[in-house]
């Protein structure tokens, strides 16, 4: 109180003397925050969590396993989709840490992708049919489910994107002995491969009238090839001589960014050019990029890497190639999704 009194007195005297008052220095928070969703092991189970600028927020603290798979930030609200284990895995999303359960746990299920638009919460995933013979692809709008492709074969959705009144979901349909890369627009299916090779979609992004999807397909030598599709045009990202997969796609300013891995390294591709985030030389140091977000000139990528000393996976993210490690490697952990939001 005394310091405040004397500071005000000095300013008052200076004003009387015709001198300008000293400039006020204000300390403001960063313009943006980085949110990363994933999980970390604790004992015999995993715990769903997210990190805001490196500080963890635990979503499930009970003794059952849980995983956070996708994150979306809208205004001051943080939405995370994933799964928790009670009997079977149940599909869940959390809003600001409060769980909303989408399935009852009698059959295995997961919420793989989340998107928020106009105050509505959209979640994509799947739930097994009774007995577990096959899975139904589903999405939920504000908790109300829609079944995608209600046939007898397995459909699993991995990603969702909402553009205006259109709802796009993407994933894989398994029938006739093959995995088919498919997406659905307002429940209408679109197939992207000729079914000669196994393929699937991990991520979907819509820009204007163009639909971008990313995933992988099996080569004739049984290695995985990372690919993305612009509408129905397939663009390979790897040559099939090494195992490579594409896990996430983002479009910004006409540029196409895809995150994944190639052999031992976490990588992303910008317009088809590969950029390595790690320098793995053996399977004892492998790394995977799981998700990508672009803001202005900055490229953010989430992922995980094996710790060579502990042999446990560490959750981390990269901003323009510089890594931030989120866990210490004492327990297995993964960063599955990333979102960068304006601070309010």
| The pLDDT of residue 28 | 59
| Residue where the block lists tokens 């000139």 | 297
Residue 323 lies in a domain: yes
Residue 147 lies in a domain: yes
CATH number of the domain bearing residue 300 = 2.120.10.30
Contact by Cβ (8 Å): 240, 226: no
Residue 175 lies in a domain: yes
| The pLDDT of residue 21 | 40
Kindly state the helix (H) or strand (E) to which residue 6 belongs, with its residue range. Answer: helix 2-16
| The pLDDT of residue 268 | 98
Range of the domain at 337: 32-342
How does residue 211 score in pLDDT terms, banded at 50, 70 and 90? very high
Residue 187 lies in a domain: yes
Residue 2 lies in a domain: no
| The pLDDT of residue 63 | 65
Residue 10 lies in a domain: no
Q: How far apart are CA 213 and CA 201, in angstroms?
A: 7
Residue 70 lies in a domain: yes
Neighbour order of strands in the sheet with 55-58: 55-58, 45-52, 32-42, 333-342
Token pair of 39, please?
Answer: 């999980």
pLDDT at 48 over 50: yes
pLDDT tens figures, 57-98: 999 877 689 999 999 999 999 999 999 987 788 999 999 999
What proportion of the chain, given as a percentage, has pLDDT over 70? 91
DSSP conformational letter for 214: E
For the entire predicted model, the pTM comes to: 0.90
- Classified as helix, coil or strand, 329 is coil
Residue 90 lies in a domain: yes
3-state DSSP percent of the chain in helix, strand and coil, to 5: 5, 60, 35
pLDDT tens figures, 144-192: 999 998 778 899 999 999 999 999 999 999 987 889 999 999 999 999 9
Number of domains in the chain: 1
């Amino acid at each position: 109180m005394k310091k405040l009194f004397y500071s005000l007195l000095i300013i008052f005297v200076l004003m009387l003397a015709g001198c300008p008052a000293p400039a006020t220095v204000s300390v403001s928070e960063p313009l943006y925050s980085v949110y990363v969703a994933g999980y970390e092991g604790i004992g015999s189970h995993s715990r769903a969590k997210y990190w805001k600028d490196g500080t963890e927020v635990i979503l499930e603290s009970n003794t059952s396993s849980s995983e956070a798979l996708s994150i979306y930030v809208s205004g001051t609200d943080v939405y995370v989709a994933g799964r928790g284990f009670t009997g079977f895995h149940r599909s869940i999303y959390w809003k600001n840490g409060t769980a909303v359960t989408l399935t009852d746990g009698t059959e295995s299920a997961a919420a793989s992708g989340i998107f928020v638009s106009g105050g509505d919460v959209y979640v994509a995933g799947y739930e097994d049919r009774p007995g577990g013979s096959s899975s139904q692809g589903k999405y939920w709008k504000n908790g109300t489910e829609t079944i995608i492709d209600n046939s007898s074969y397995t459909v699993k959705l991995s990603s969702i994107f909402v553009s205006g009144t259109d709802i796009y979901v993407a994933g894989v349909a398994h029938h006739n002995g093959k995995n088919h890369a498919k997406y659905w627009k307002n429940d209408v299916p679109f197939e992207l491969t000729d079914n000669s090779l196994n393929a699937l979609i991990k991520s979907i992004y819509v820009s204007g009238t163009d639909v971008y999807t990313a995933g992988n397909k099996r080569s004739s030598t049984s290695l995985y090839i990372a690919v993305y599709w612009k509408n129905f045009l397939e663009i390979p990202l790897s040559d099939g001589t090494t195992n490579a997969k594409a896990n996430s796609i983002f479009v910004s300013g006409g540029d196409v960014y895809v995150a994944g891995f190639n052999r031992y390294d976490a990588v992303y591709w910008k317009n088809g050019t590969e950029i390595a985030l790690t320098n793995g030389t053996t399977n004892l140091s492998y790394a995977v990029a799981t998700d990508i977000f672009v803001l202005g000139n900055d490229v953010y990528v989430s992922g995980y890497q094996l710790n060579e000393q502990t042999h446990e996976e560490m959750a981390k993210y990269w901003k323009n190639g510089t890594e931030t490690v989120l866990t210490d490697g004492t327990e297995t952990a993964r960063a599955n999704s990333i979102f960068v939001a304006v601070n309010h």
